[in-house]
Amino acid sequence: MAGMANEQQMIDPVDPDETAQAALSRIFAQIMGMYSVSDDEGPLADAVEIFLDSLGRLRVRRHGDTVIADDIAGRGQHVVLAGHLDTVPVADNFPPRWLEPGDPLIREDIAQEHPGERVMWGRGATDMKASDAVLLYLAATLREPKYDLTYILYDHEEVSADKNGLRRLIEAHPDWVGGDFAIIAEPTSCGIEGGCNGTIRFDVVTHGVAAHSARAWMGDNAIHKAAEVLDRLQAYEPQDVLVDGLTYREGVNATLISGGTGTNVIPDECRVHVNYRFAPDKTLEQAKALMMGQECGAQLGNGEHKATGGMFAGFDIEMRDESPSARPGMDSPLTTSLAALVKERTGRDPQAKFGWTDVARFAQLGIPAVNLGAGSALLAHKRDEQAAISDLTLLADILQEWLSA
Ligand SMILES: N[C@@H](CCC[C@H](NC(=O)CCC(=O)O)C(=O)O)C(=O)O
């Protein structure tokens, strides 16, 4: 990050005499203070690697900016605990800070749920440094876990699938990642969120002819043609889809738009970047067919193709990213016991995960996985992202109990 000092920032060791709340608050504040927008996770990954290595009990390895730490002692079953280190770009919300009770920046919903508590405000508070802090705390304090454990703290989750650190780790070292069950600590307010929506992103491209805007009849305006793309998006009605008992909410949204080369030039190209979130009753191929038709042929990296059907029939499409959905998979014995404990401690029943998470990657590996993390998913990627400290202590408590003999 431009302007930031180059010296290594550290995560202080956990003092055996301090309370869980004190240790979690400190780790949370320290990792929140390390800027880690995707592509800039290096310093945080360094600090995590040093912290885990200094514990002296874990086998710590690294691939790129992904850190993997094993606590393997032949305990029978093997659980993976994973969290990503990157955040979406900052939006006037870095550096972070603690908000004391009564601070007007504390959201009303957070104040109501966590009265009288201090709250961490800033980029990554919920997605997902609250949970990362808990994973680091568990690594430091869980001395005799019931299962073999692997902690994975990885880079590039928030961006295109080809950059995803977990994916790259598995591709480079398939023998490093395995297990009977995985917990992805994406924000869930300490409830279980099962499976995940799939996501595809693509540009719908309109073309025209450039000309002087004082002689527009000499050209053809590509931005005006994009109005039809926006009309189709506006007409879309979000769908709820029930899959294995959980209700997933789908959506098709424009998230970026670009076009034009000058203030007095008729634009010859316009791109509407569209994101389709689809429920786990659909494969990637089915999701693509719904957007651009079965015969479209648009694939990642192979340029523009005419949509032959679907929502954007007749428009040129360029594929940008795709990640499959994952079914809830709530029937594995480890999921059942974890869900029962979560219900007992929070009163929450499992819900569907609306964002895309790496449970889908574990599902592809045949490893049952659920999302369980601190912080509210509803605040992920918002400017006023924030998390109360009791969410971290609750998650640490639940996982400590579930993972202890
Ligand atoms: N390759 C995908 C990656 C998108 C990942 C991101 N995940 C989350 O925000 C999880 C947070 C949550 O819902 O708990 C997402 O869903 O956008 C891409 O680049 O689109």
Domain ranges for the chain: 20-196+326-403, 198-323
HSE (side-chain half, CA atoms, 13 Å) at 166: 28
Q: Compute the mean pLDDT over every residue in the chain, rounded to the nearest whole number.
A: 96
Residue 354 CA: nearest ligand 1 atom is 13
Write down the pLDDT at residue 6: 59
Q: How far is the CA of 357 from the centre of ligand 1 (A)?
A: 6
Q: What is the pTM of this model?
A: 0.94
Confidence bin at 8 (pLDDT 50/70/90): confident
- The CATH fold assigned to 20-196+326-403 is Aminopeptidase (3.40.630)
ipTM beyond cut 0.95:
yes
Which residue minimizes the CA distance to atom 12 of ligand 1?
Answer: 355
Ligand 1 pocket, residues with Cβ under 6 angstroms: 127, 157-161, 186-187, 199, 201, 321, 323, 353-357, 377, 380
Residue 159 CA: nearest ligand 1 atom is 19
Give me the residue label for tokens 């389709």: 276
Question: Which residue spans within 86-222 are E strands per DSSP?
Answer: 97-99, 119-121, 148-154, 181-184, 192-194, 198-207, 211-212
Q: Which of 37, 123, 158, 163 to mutate to test the pocket of ligand 1 (most atoms within 8 A of CB)?
A: 158
Confidence bin at 3 (pLDDT 50/70/90): very low
- The CATH fold assigned to 198-323 is Alpha-Beta Plaits (3.30.70)
Q: How far is the CA of 7 from the centre of ligand 1 (A)?
A: 31
Q: Which residues are catalytic?
A: 86, 157
Q: How does pLDDT run across 350-405, given as a tens digit for each residue?
A: 999 999 999 999 999 999 999 999 999 999 999 999 999 999 999 999 999 999 96
Give me the residue label for tokens 């703290």: 153
Residue 186 CA: nearest ligand 1 atom is 14
Task: Please state, in angstroms and rounded to a whole number, the distance separating the CA atoms of residues 402 and 405.
Answer: 8
